[in-house]
Amino acid sequence: MNKPATTLKIGVLGSGSGSNMGSIVDAIQADRLNVEIRVVLSDVQDAKILERAKQHQIPCQWIDCAPYKTKLDDKAEQDCVQILRQHGVDTVVLAGFMRIVKPGLLQAFPARIINIHPALLPAFPGIHAWKQALDYGAKLAGCTVHFVDQGTDTGPIIIQRPVPILPDDTYESLHARIQVEEHIAYPEALRLLAAGRLRINGRRVEIL
């Protein structure tokens, strides 16, 4: 028996344009998603995701992560946890967040941090996954929504959506088609979580 649906109170962390956050906002406004975005945080001071948040009257803030380039650690991590808690966040959504999440945040939100990756994990983890896939000569790319653990793109998989690689694909064309699938997959994963239909069983995520 599924748990009753609850309103997820999410905090979004992003570094770029915020297109995945935009797809979540669209699903909320269309009454397809029982989610409330409580706050948006970015490690990039002029990131477009902050501008998008302001357009939707969502509280947002820049997090100074200096001197680190690739991880959320030390004071920045403490600040992030404090802000998320102040806004009543129960689930953290990484939307193009280009830093490795460290144990402090993972321990503050155990099994409640979700990421989306532009590849069919475990293939092509790390940055620019669509470029990795095209350069490798893969026939299939796609996206993966997964729970976050202490590894890099290694957490239990919730949803995957495939994207065929076409003979004339460029980095840009492949990435654009993957993003279309991301904007479907992320709201769907959050819908399942809000409905109490996800259960982590070792490496597997069971959809109830």
Confirm whether 117 is a catalytic residue.
yes
pLDDT single digits (tens) 143-182: 999 999 999 999 999 999 999 999 999 999 999 999 999 9
Structure confidence by residue, pLDDT tens digits, 134-153 = 999 999 999 999 999 999 99
Q: How far apart are CA 37 and CA 166, in angstroms?
A: 36
Q: 113 in helix, strand or coil? A: strand
pLDDT for the residue numbered 3: 53
Q: What is the pTM of this model?
A: 0.94
The upper half-sphere exposure of residue 151, i.e. CA atoms within 13 Å in the direction of its Cβ, equals 10
* CA 35 vs CA 12, 58, 193: distances in Å: 12, 13, 10
Mean residue pLDDT of the chain comes to 95
The hierarchical CATH code for the domain 8-196 is: 3.40.50.170
Q: Is the dihedral of CA 41, 199, 187, 88 positive or negative?
A: negative
* DSSP sequence for 174-186: HHHHHHHHHHHHH
| Residue in 117, 146, 175, 183 annotated catalytic | 117
All structural domains of the chain with their residue ranges: 8-196
What percentage of the chain has pLDDT greater than the value 90? 93
Instruction: Calculate mean pLDDT across residues 82-110.
Output: 96
Question: Tens digits of per-residue pLDDT, 48-71?
Answer: 999 999 999 999 999 999 888 888
